[in-house]
Amino acid sequence: MSPVQSPNTESIEASMRSAGLSRRRMGAGVLALMAGLGVAGTGGRLATAEGAAPTVDATHAVAGGSVPGVGLGVSGLGGSVLGGTSTVRLLAFGDSITVGGVGWCHRDAVRSTSWLAHLGERCELSVAYAKSGATAQLLDAAPAPNHAGDFAIFAFGTNDRQLGRTVDEMLGDIGRYVSENLSAFAGATIAVAGVGPRSGVDPAVLEAWNAQVSAAAAVRGWLFLDPWRRLRGVDAASWADAALTRDGLHPTELGARLLGAGYESEIVWAVAGRMPLPE
């Protein structure tokens, strides 16, 4: 695989756009967590791959219809994509890329290396629940969101894939969590994110994973988001610039800014019902 390209921070900057959880019944060894309180937890039934974080491909989300390999813009729960809402309330779940480092992600103390710190005015973070190294099994131990949301993003995959979990297992974890907490998700558009670049991994492996996630999400009536297009280089495993990643997997603060802009772009276009996204 080609090495990461040399930094060109000015050109990257020029291309950028401006951009709580309440408790449900929890089992033994589970986590107390963050909503507005920012309380970290440990333990729980988590399959982890240390040093790993989410990865993605170049498929676009689509609203109001079906495109092969791409998710629908209407939630399988019956909630349609939003039209005139000025601010989209986000429920965000994920692993170390959402955390922006190690440990837990706290809604009221988001790191600058997390894409959540770089969302624009159209997005308001209502709930954040993420842990470095987590698979979607994190949700087996998750408290219920104590705030409803308009748009729920599940950014898992890197650790699930690395640990040999299947796409159906990952989406099954997500689906169970959503169905167990319908009061928080009933009006929300459900979205899953693809995985992004990862140095040293066969690009075809990442492409295949994202294609499978996109197709399986479409069956469930969920959106598939690819916020990584500005960070991805010549193939699914390469980065567009060395300045965007600190280790070939996790974004730097600059990378997180571009990733946040990518998420915001996909969310806003989904809300406006104007898919597919323009290049």
The pair of structure tokens assigned to 193 is: 């994110």
Q: Write the CA distances from 195 to 27, 45, 228, 247, integer angstroms.
A: 30, 22, 8, 16
User: Sheet harboring 123-130: ordered strands across?
Assistant: 123-130, 88-94, 151-155, 189-193, 223-225
**Phi and psi dihedrals of 62, rounded to 5?**
-130, 135
In this structure, which amino acid lies at residue 10? E
The per-residue pLDDT for range 42-57, each reduced to its tens digit, is 222 223 232 332 222 2
Q: Classify residue 6 by burial, with Cβ atoms within 10 Å: 0-12, 13-18, 19+.
A: exposed
Residue-level pLDDT at 100: 96
**The whole model's pTM is what?**
0.72
Per-residue three-class SS string for 158-171 = HHHHHCCCCHHHHH
The per-residue pLDDT for range 237-260, each reduced to its tens digit, is 999 999 999 999 999 999 999 999
Residue-level pLDDT at 241: 97
- Distance between terminal CA atoms of the chain? 25
Question: What is the pLDDT confidence band of residue 192, given thresholds at 50, 70 and 90?
Answer: very high
On the question of pLDDT at 61 being above 80, the answer is: no
Between 87 and 78, where is the model more confident?
87
The per-residue pLDDT for range 97-130, each reduced to its tens digit, is 999 999 998 777 899 999 999 998 889 999 999 9
**Which element (helix H / strand E) includes 126?**
strand 123-130
The per-residue pLDDT for range 62-76, each reduced to its tens digit, is 222 222 222 333 333
- 212's CB contacts (< 8 A; 6+ apart) are 167
